Amino acid sequence: MKISKDTLIGEVLMEYPEAQDIMLKYFGEEVACVMCPGQAFDTFEMIADLHGIEEEVVDEMLKEMNVVIAQILEDNKGTTLVSKIEQEEQVAE
């Protein structure tokens, strides 16, 4: 998934919870998108415009998100959900 300014925030947060920390880093805690019900239909561009966040900040955030997500996908390549759960259980023991 390539994240752009037109991507729905809720879609990203549901698929990649790691994106929450990146959002907070760039948008700050005062922009509480991660807790807002509007995330289901708001895009990154809409929120940036609404809260006066500069375009360069949004671009940098999206760039970091895409790098992190690409790494997650690469790390999980060939891993099924069942095998991932089994690996996590072994680490917990």
| Ranges assigned E (strand) in the chain | none
Domain assignment present for residue 21? The answer is yes
Residue 3 lies in a domain: no
Which residues fall within 8 angstroms of residue 66, CB to CB, at 6 or more apart? Answer: 2, 3
Specify if 76 maps to a domain: yes
pLDDT digit string (tens) for the chain, length 93 residues: 799 999 999 899 888 888 889 988 988 876 766 667 777 889 999 988 988 989 999 999 999 999 999 888 888 776 555 555 566 666 776
Domain ranges, residue 17: 9-92
- pTM, full prediction: 0.74
Residue 25 within a domain: yes
11 token code pair: 């879609």
Dist CA 40 CA 43 (whole Å): 9
